[in-house]
């Protein structure tokens, strides 16, 4: 059985490929930060689903923080003019969806 939150996090990573290339050409540190945070969100979902009780909740909370970090980083990149709002729209939509699921999992 597939874990919807994990599947969405992987879709987010795929949606970021082109966006990260644009950001990397202007700010490699910010691009690396986004890549690391997106990977952390997915990896903590994967690990958390195999844990129990408070340990599971801890991993889901870390994933939520990393997911919000990706969204904020994309907004920063847009604010700096590295990408357009249109460039990040699909990723932002998926990030919002994942954040809603993670809110349910952590509250």
| pTM to 2 decimal places | 0.94
- According to the model, what pLDDT value does residue 1 have? 67
Distances (CA, A) of 37 to 42, 51, 68, 92, 101: 9, 21, 9, 14, 17
- According to the model, what pLDDT value does residue 54 have? 87
Low-confidence stretches of the chain (pLDDT < 70) are 1
Tell me the C-alpha distance between 42 and 103, whole Å. Answer: 15
19: left (phi over 0), alpha (psi -120 to 50) or beta: alpha
Which superfamily does 4-106 belong to?
Answer: 23S rRNA-intervening sequence (1.20.1440.60)
- According to the model, what pLDDT value does residue 82 have? 98
């Amino acid at each position: 059985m597939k874990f919807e939150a994990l599947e969405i996090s992987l879709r987010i990573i795929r949606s970021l490929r082109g966006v990260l290339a644009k950001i990397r050409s202007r700010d490699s540190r910010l691009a690396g930060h986004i890549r690391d945070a997106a990977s952390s969100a997915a990896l903590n979902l994967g690990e958390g689903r195999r844990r129990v009780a408070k340990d599971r909740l801890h991993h889901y909370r870390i994933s939520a923080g990393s997911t919000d970090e990706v969204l904020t980083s994309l907004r920063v990149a847009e604010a700096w003019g590295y990408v357009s709002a249109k460039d990040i729209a699909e990723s932002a939509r998926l990030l919002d969806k994942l954040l809603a699921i993670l809110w349910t999992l952590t509250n």
